[in-house]
Amino acid sequence: MTVALPRRADRPARAESAELSSDGIHRDPGNHDPVATTTFAQRLAHRASGLFSGHTSRRSFLTRTAVVGSALAVGPIDFLLKPGTAYGYVCGTCTDGWTAFCCTINSGRNSCPPASFVAGWWKADNAAYCCGAARYIIDCNATCPTQCACRCSGASCDGRKTCCNQFRYGQCNTQIACYGPVVCRVATCTPPWRYDPSCTTSSATDNRTRDHGAPCLTTDCGTPIAKKYAALGGSAGFLGPVVAAEKANSDKRGRVARYRNGNIYWTSSTGAREVHGRILAEFGTQAGVNGVLKYPTSDTRTSNDKKSTYSNFENGRIYDRGTPGVFTVPRPYFAKHEAFGGISGVLGYPTGAVRRSRDNKSRYQNYVGGRIYVQGSRVVEIHGAVFTHHESIQGVYGPLGYPVNDLAPTGDRRGKAQWFEKGIVFYTPTTGAYGLWGKVLDRYAANGNVRGSLRYPTSKPTPVGDGRGTFATFERGNIYASSTTGGFQVNGAVLAAYLDVHGGPQGVLGYPLSELPPAGTPGGRIQTFEGGTLRYINDTNVVFTPNP
Amino acid sequence: MKLQAHGIETELPAGWEGRIALRTQPTAATRSIGDPAERTNPIVHLANFALPEQRGDFGSGAVDLMSEPHVLVVLFEYGPECANTALFSRQGMPKKLTPTMFSGAALQRTLPGQAGCQIFFTEGNRAFCLYTVLGGQSAATRVLPQANATLAGTRILAR
């Protein structure tokens, strides 16, 4: 259940509000100054008498807080019994000028309540609450327009104010200019930028708030690995008992603890993450944290399709698909794979480890739907019909060579194309995928490629069979090329006459030596061939004239 | 007296004191003072009263000592990623504070009689918050000229 913040009864207008905003003062101008009003003290006295139903005794509270370890050890009797000493300091009052903790006013939740946002943070050094590490206090400011009214929390301990201090630390959500008063404070041992990614790492310090407490705040001690292990069930959990105690890794960056069925790794940037089972075994074959993957950044997860489990690492991911195997997708393959939808995309699951090509010019990884090649800094994927076609013509060792970019739309909203070192593959769902290269590609490009009259290819360049030339077919014509003639397009009625009447390039006409000129050309539309000409009269009449 | 450090310089009026400080950057070996990923930035504290040695970055410890004629000026810098964002959209450091800018609620810690004003701004692609605390809001008209004189003598240098 979420506690609804008390609503404001009024929003006095302020004449200077617009002026303040233009001056860079972004506090909610509609939130009036409750501290200056004469009714505030009366309201404090009224509210402090007990909105908070549960009473927390001094002793029971202190036994739960970090203060036990510090102050109690020094002077337990004084500390417990003297009014106005540590107990008062930890608990605070409605008049001490500070804001209550969120867990006090937000149903025990140590998080920002509705109608508030993470607006800034500070830290207190050497905090007992965080076992001697820095303690972070994150302010939750009211969103504009302010929907809460200044009041005391009403708790017997942490009876501090809520919605009164219109102050902003300012490192978080800086895209939000307007802010209302601080509704409450989140206390954590987790750095704020990891608690909320909108926060920056610019630190502010206020050590006087080090031991501000509340009954709902507990110490946060133990190493992250120890806490993680406990959270996973300890020795009764799936990791099983400890087999090697936590220790620093040789990289001086992280720590690891080993258990019967898995490990927990920790760094300050990744947090504590477990790795177990077959994924851990694969991680080991990749040299663990000293290998390409570095530290895990997630626990083991189940994929959305429920067909695999996986763990994320700083430099990639490991998938366990069961019977097909366990495969690592390291950087830079991982980024490319993700860019194409990951396992749900066109490439699908990895089907093998990263391999080196026979020509030593690349490394690659196979996937269900294609392959990713890495050559130096170039990372290119190839998939589907284009991949199948490329493989059918000897892949990177064939006439196209290596792909140099990913499959991309051709711009006609119909097809796609992928560039290779020595050619281009064009694809549409109706024509399929065909590569073009050499003189055929040169002519196709010169004639406007997919936007030209030929449209998309329906074959790759194929030997004519005379030992001289090649040809490729297209949706609306052919291109013929030979070593001596170059490449030229033949289409329409001229193509029909060329092939059906005169035997094509192996017939009397041989190879074309020109294109058919456009309609209106003086002297008529005549296409020249090695053995003569074809004059286009109309779609049913093409006249052949042999060379003299 | 002139103070100059970390790309900030200020000419202190008579009767004022100040510090331009940069807190120690935490490292892996000093987790007691924070996370190694934290970034510390320059902080300026200027006041017309004696500043205690132990102060929070936004003046806690000092504000407890303030009485009506006292003014505390804090210039707190943020990382460059904050510059020119919505909160820091104002360009240039304010040089003139007026009583209407102050509120008894605009304080990090609300103390009776005190009033504060926060102005977020960007200057030279550096993001700052100018936080000013008056020991007594009722003395605003009398003490703000001093604060404004201090601001007039303060310059932020581009980095």
Share of chain A above pLDDT 90, in %: 71
| CB under 8 A, 24+ apart: contacts of A373-380 | A373/A402, A373/A403, A374/A332, A374/A333, A375/A402, A378/A404, A379/A332, A379/A333, A379/A335, A379/A336, A380/A336, A380/A404, A380/A405, A380/A406
Please give the average per-residue pLDDT across A431-440, as a whole number.
98
Smallest Cα distance from A236 to chain B, Å: 31
Residue A508 pLDDT > 80: yes
What end-to-end distance do the CA atoms of chain B give, in Å?
24
| pLDDT tens, position by position, A53-84 | 334 555 555 555 544 444 443 333 344 444 45
Which SS3 state, helix, strand or coil, does residue B34 take?
Answer: coil
Residue A3 pLDDT > 50: no
Given a contact cutoff of 8 angstroms between Cβ atoms, the answer to whether A427 and A433 are in contact is yes
A85 CB-near residues (< 8 Å, 6+ apart): A78, A79
Q: What share of chain A is helix, strand, coil (3-state, %, to 5)?
A: 25, 30, 50
- Please check whether residue A44 touches B, CB under 8 A: no
Which chain B residue has the Cα nearest residue A252? B28
Which chain B residue has the Cα nearest residue A202? B39
Residues of B in contact with A161 (CB under 8 A): 110
Tokens of A144: 């504009």
| pLDDT tens, position by position, A437-484 | 999 999 999 999 999 999 999 999 999 999 999 999 999 999 999 999
d(CA A216, CA A226): 22
**Distance (Å) of CA A78 to CA A64, A65, A71, A307:** 18, 17, 9, 62
- Please check whether residue A295 touches B, CB under 8 A: no
pLDDT of residue A215: 86
Flag if B33 and A125 touch (Cβ within 8 Å).
yes
Domain boundaries of chain A, sorted by first residue? 17-209
Instruction: Nearest by CB to A208, from B60, B81, B85: name it.
Output: B60
Please give the average per-residue pLDDT across A532-539, as a whole number.
97
How many beta-carbon pairs under 8 angstroms link A with B? 167
Which chain B residue has the Cα nearest residue A120? B78
Flag if B103 and A36 touch (Cβ within 8 Å).
yes
Mutate one of B77, B103, B121 to test the A interface: name it (highest A CB count within 10 A). Answer: B103
| pLDDT tens, position by position, B1-53 | 899 999 999 999 999 999 999 999 988 777 788 888 999 999 999 999 999 99
Tell me which of A357 and A232 has the higher pLDDT.
Answer: A357
d(CA A453, CA A491): 9
A269 CB-near residues (< 8 Å, 6+ apart): B37
Please give the average per-residue pLDDT across A139-160, as a whole number.
94
d(CA A203, CA B22): 11
Mean pLDDT of chain A: 87
pLDDT of residue A409: 95
Share of chain B above pLDDT 70, in %: 100
pLDDT of residue A184: 97
Given a contact cutoff of 8 angstroms between Cβ atoms, the answer to whether A471 and A440 are in contact is yes
Please give the average per-residue pLDDT across A324-344, as a whole number.
97
Residue A160 pLDDT > 60: yes
Residues of A in contact with B113 (CB under 8 A): none
Flag if A97 and B57 touch (Cβ within 8 Å).
no
Instruction: Nearest by CB to A98, from B32, B89, B109: name it.
Output: B109
What ipTM was estimated for this complex?
A: 0.96
Q: Angle at Cα A76 formed by Cα A73 and Cα A77, nearest 5°?
A: 165
**For the whole model, what pTM was predicted?**
0.54
Given a contact cutoff of 8 angstroms between Cβ atoms, the answer to whether B105 and B111 are in contact is no
Tell me which of B111 and A236 has the higher pLDDT.
Answer: B111
- Please check whether residue A484 touches B, CB under 8 A: no
Instruction: Nearest by CB to B32, from A36, A125, A165: name it.
Output: A125
Smallest Cα distance from B79 to chain A, Å: 6
d(CA A44, CA A159): 10
Flag if A167 and B116 touch (Cβ within 8 Å).
yes
- Please check whether residue B95 touches A, CB under 8 A: no
Backbone angles phi, psi at A208, to 5 degrees: -70, -10
| pLDDT tens, position by position, A81-136 | 444 556 667 888 999 999 999 999 998 888 899 999 999 999 999 887 887 788 99
Q: How are beta strands A416-419 and A423-428 bridged, if at all? A: antiparallel
Q: Is the dihedral of CA B124, B127, B133, B137 positive or negative?
A: positive
Flag if A23 and B90 touch (Cβ within 8 Å).
yes
Mutate one of B22, B89, B108 to test the A interface: name it (highest A CB count within 10 A). Answer: B108
Residues of A in contact with B60 (CB under 8 A): 206, 208-209
Which range has the worst mean pLDDT, A190-199, A226-235, A324-333? Answer: A226-235
